[in-house]
Amino acid sequence: MLGIFKEKLVKAPKELNNPASLNSCTKPKPSHEILKDFMPCNSSNAFSMCFGNDALLAYSPSNKPSIHHRLFSGLDNIYCVFLGGLHSLSMVNKQYGLSKGTNKAMFITEAYQTLRDRGPYPADQVLKELEGSLGFVIYDNKDGTIFVAFGSNGQIGLYWGVVAYSSIVIYENMELIKASCAKSLAPFPTGM
């Protein structure tokens, strides 16, 4: 999973902007170079979606059974890249009236859309009901918003950093993010 978002969509917290990175001989990479590094490191059926100059999502299904599930979903201009496992999927599908065929990324997308449009539940209540090791990035192309969540059990690594032009990158591979962000990077904050 890879997400890159321009500064107008996501403002980096000041703690993520490391002053040492300004003096570093390694400069942060622009989005197209990060994507060029991502594609060959992943399976042959990896793909990316670019949303003008504002956002980029890239996805590669897991090709090893030992790796956490990776799923992608797109619905009504809402795009979700999901990583991990959701043990309570059948229960939450039933609770929210979704079909049995709804996968994890589709559930997250539909739950986000419901909360955005007519949500009777606060987002933190919905997130508390999710059991498993998971992380996801949602890009709402209609509203120009991003929603990222990451489980607190530490079984999945998710990192973020500042790249060229003050864009934010969110990625699961620490080595690629180190090469892309110079020194302005950190583990993504946990907690759902």
DSSP line for 49-116 = EEETTTEEEEE----STTSPPEEEEEETTEEEEEEE--TTHHHHHHHTT--TT--HHHHHHHHHHHHH
Cβ contacts of 85 within 8 Å, gap of 6 or more: 68, 69, 104, 132, 133, 134
Domain ranges for the chain? 2-187
pLDDT at 26: 65
Q: Mean pLDDT, to the nearest integer, of 104-124?
A: 78
Burial category of 18 from C-beta neighbours within 10 Å (exposed 0-12, middle 13-18, buried 19 and up): middle
Q: Which range has highest mean pLDDT (65-69, 144-148, 183-187)?
A: 144-148
**Coil/strand/helix, residue 34:** helix
Element holding 137 (H helix, E strand): strand 134-140
pLDDT at 140: 93
- Per-residue pLDDT tens over the stretch 16-31: 775 554 555 567 788 8
**Coil/strand/helix, residue 128:** helix
Cβ contacts of 125 within 8 Å, gap of 6 or more: none
Percent of the chain, pLDDT > 70?
Answer: 82
**Cα gap 64→83, rounded to integer Å:** 14
Judge: domain 2-187, CATH 3.40.50.2000: no
Q: Mean pLDDT, to the nearest integer, of 89-95?
A: 82
Taking the model in full, what pTM does it have? 0.84
The 10 Å Cβ neighbour count of residue 94 is: 10
